[in-house]
């Protein structure tokens, strides 16, 4: 019993030919993608750095100093995420101390301490917003760096292989 292989169907040959991409075209596409990823990484990193500087400058312009009795950074200018956090923390401590341990929502409407606790809550919220902004800025800078590294790796992969003699 003998068997013969059948030639490939014409539809199989056409599919192979029509979907094949020349190596050089693939290299160019990967190189272009790498370049775009590098540019996106640089933009993301620059946006993160710009946000960091803007928030830091805005906080410093307010000339807020961390209370002396804060857990850390007492007496220092609030101009970064840690100083903002510890100032917000000590404001909470002072507010709770002034209200006998009650929060704004727990105080009666006629309680004279309620306005003080409310102001403390607003100040804390503003400082925590800056802490979150610093975190997002740092994340953007970190992601920008990762994008740049991935883009550079793609560009290396896209380089044509040079024959050795």
User: What is the model's pLDDT at position 159?
Assistant: 82
The domain of 125 spans: 31-158
In a domain, 7, yes or no: no
Please check the confidence at residue 1 and state whether its pLDDT lies above 60. no
pLDDT the model gives residue 26? 78
Q: Is 133 left (phi over 0), alpha (psi -120 to 50) or beta?
A: alpha
- What's the pLDDT at 162? 67
d(CA 14, CA 8): 10
Name the burial class of residue 6, with classes exposed (0-12), middle (13-18) and buried (19+) by CB atoms within 10 angstroms of its CB.
exposed
Residue 8 lies in a domain: no
Q: Does 78 fall in a domain?
A: yes
Q: Alpha-carbon distance 143 to 120, whole Å? A: 35
Residue 155 belongs to what H/E stretch?
helix 114-158
Render pLDDT for 125-155 as a digit per residue (tens, 0 to 9): 999 999 999 999 999 999 999 999 999 999 9
Highest-confidence segment of 19-23, 100-104, 136-140: 136-140
Predicted confidence (pLDDT) per residue in 47-74, tens digit = 999 999 999 999 999 999 999 999 999 9
Predicted structure pTM score: 0.76
| Confidence at residue 3, expressed as pLDDT on a 0 to 100 scale | 58
Condensed to tens digits (0 to 9), the pLDDT of residues 104-124 reads 999 999 999 999 999 999 999
Kindly state whether residue 137 falls inside one of the protein's structural domains.
yes
Q: Is residue 104 part of a domain?
A: yes
The two structure tokens encoding residue 134: 């610093």
Report if residue 119 sits inside a domain. yes
Closest CA to 158 of 33, 4, 45: 33
Each residue's pLDDT tens digit, 28-49: 899 999 999 999 999 999 999 9
Q: What is the DSSP letter of 111?
A: -
Q: Rounded to an integer, what distance in angstroms lies between the CA atom of residue 119 and that of residue 125? A: 10
The reply to whether 122 falls in a domain is: yes
In this structure, are residues 48 and 158 in contact, taking their beta carbons and an 8 Å threshold? no
- Confirm whether 60 is domain-assigned: yes
Question: Residue 64 and residue 47: Cα distance in Å, rounded?
Answer: 26
- Whether residue 46 contacts residue 144, with contact meaning beta carbons closer than 8 Å, is answered with yes
Total domains in the fold of the chain: 1
């Amino acid at each position: 019993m003998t068997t013969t292989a059948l030639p490939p169907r014409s539809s199989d040959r056409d599919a192979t030919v029509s979907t094949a991409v020349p190596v050089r075209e693939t290299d160019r596409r990967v190189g272009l993608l790498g370049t775009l990823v590098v540019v996106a990484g640089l933009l993301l990193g620059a946006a993160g750095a710009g946000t960091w500087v803007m928030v830091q400058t805005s906080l410093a312009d307010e000339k807020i100093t961390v209370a002396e009795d804060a857990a850390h950074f007492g007496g220092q200018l609030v101009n970064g995420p840690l100083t903002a956090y510890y100032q917000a923390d000590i404001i909470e401590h002072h507010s709770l101390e002034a209200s006998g341990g009650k929060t704004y929502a727990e105080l009666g409407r006629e309680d004279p301490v309620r306005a003080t606790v409310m102001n403390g809550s607003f100040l804390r919220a503003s400082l925590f917003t800056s802490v979150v902004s610093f975190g997002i800025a740092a994340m953007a800078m970190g992601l920008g760096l990762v994008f740049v590294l991935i883009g550079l790796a793609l560009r290396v992969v896209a380089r044509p292989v040079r024959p050795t003699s």
